[in-house]
Amino acid sequence: MPDRFVPGDPVRAGTCDPTGHTRLPRYVRGAVGQVAEVAGHHPLADDRARGLPGTVQAVYHVRFAAVDLFGAGDHTVTVELWEDYLEPTTDHQDKEAP
Amino acid sequence: MSGDHSSAAIAERVRHVEALLEERGLLDDGEIDRRIDEFLAGGSPANGARITAHAWVDADFRERLLADANAAIRELGLSMAGGLQEQRLKVVANTASEHHVVVCTLCSCYPIALLGPSPAWYKSEAYRSRVVRDPRGVLREFGLELPADTRITVWDASAESRYMVVPRRPEGTEGMSEAELAGLVTRKGLIGTAAV
Amino acid sequence: MSRINDVGGMIGFPDIVEEPDEPAFHADWEAHVLALNAALIRRGVYNLDEFRDAIERMPPASYLSASYYEKWFTAITTLLAEKGVATPEELAGA
């Protein structure tokens, strides 16, 4: 399956709150960031933590502006997120691109 | 700490579980000691320092390192393949306008092959919780005051990649050999909590 | 909301403490715990993500009061019991 996103794409981190293991930190949930780079393809950790083989999918470096995560701060945070955690968005960030 | 009561109690429990697993054929004789020796011999900040010094003196290598770190470090005889499978390495370089710092907010992911065992502060909730929110404040606590116009990028090692920072080459080091330059680089510099 | 390991952005933890000349391990048993975990993962008793999951399932108060390798040892014994390698009683030496 081809990667769903390419560098430069705006993406929104999922808002799901799984009860099990996940690598979607809560501080990015629901926030809009930008794909910086494809960081390889790996089975979803959420599945592997339940003893399942996990579907292999793209993992991305996604860059968020701190102000979109915490309401303050002039830095950026790059988080590594599996494709399943991300959805496309048309939200324009009116701030400077991070 | 190692001599107190709770430590003695847990040491006893660990020995018991080891013995049980040996009995059930899940541990070989001497395997624990062999694995400890391998771990301690497996990585050290000297590896990260070598990579950094080479990137300082060889601009082409620096470029290759930032584009494909796994391939570039093989040129120096280093590898991220010591574990169960080769880990993807992402190397980022500090510049006059941008400073990078690495954390693993969910657990303690760290490039052991290049930096050795991680320090306790890196694994602490204090560091993991705050550096994503207030990196400038955290760096100040480490004694690193960055100019107000330096952009800070925090890297959260939340998935499969491991990260290393190439610090900026200090001024006044033009005459130094690569080995001397490597001697300037610290573990904290390679994580991003020190200038070098 | 989330497990206790997911601390990114949280407020209220103490100052960051650096330990000068910190050793790789603070006691022999810590090294043994690290090696034990590596051996069990290599043998396929459990995988690394199941191990992370077992750490994260610790009750929050225990997670926050345990040292790094105490968390590891808790996760190892949890998984050994769940995978049927040994009963909790056997693991506790009872």
Chains near B with 3+ CB pairs less than 8 A apart are A, C
Mean pLDDT by 10 residues, chain B (196 residues): 70 97 95 94 94 98 98 96 85 98 97 94 98 98 97 97 98 97 98 98
pLDDT tens-digit map of A3-55? 999 999 999 999 988 889 999 999 999 999 999 999 999 999 999 999 999 99
ipTM: 0.94
Residue A65 phi, psi (nearest 5)? -80, 135
Q: What is the CATH number of domain B43-191?
A: 3.90.330.10
Which CATH number fits the domain A10-88, given the four candidates 1.10.357.10, 1.10.1060.10, 1.10.10.10, 2.30.30.50? 2.30.30.50
Q: Give kind and range of the element (H or E) at residue B19.
A: helix B5-23
Q: pLDDT: is C93 or A57 the higher one?
A: A57
Domain borders along chain B are 5-40, 43-191
- Contact between chains at A21 and C8 (C-beta distance less than 8 A): no
Q: Is the four-CA dihedral B69, A77, C71, B1 of positive or negative sign?
A: positive
User: Is C56 in CB contact (< 8 Å) with chain A?
Assistant: yes
**What b/e sequence results for A68-81 when a residue is b if at least 16 CB atoms lie within 10 Å of its CB, and e otherwise?**
bbbeebebbbbbbb
User: Is B140 in CB contact (< 8 Å) with chain C?
Assistant: no
pLDDT tens-digit map of B102-112? 999 999 999 99
pLDDT tens-digit map of B7-42? 899 999 999 999 999 999 999 999 999 999 999 988
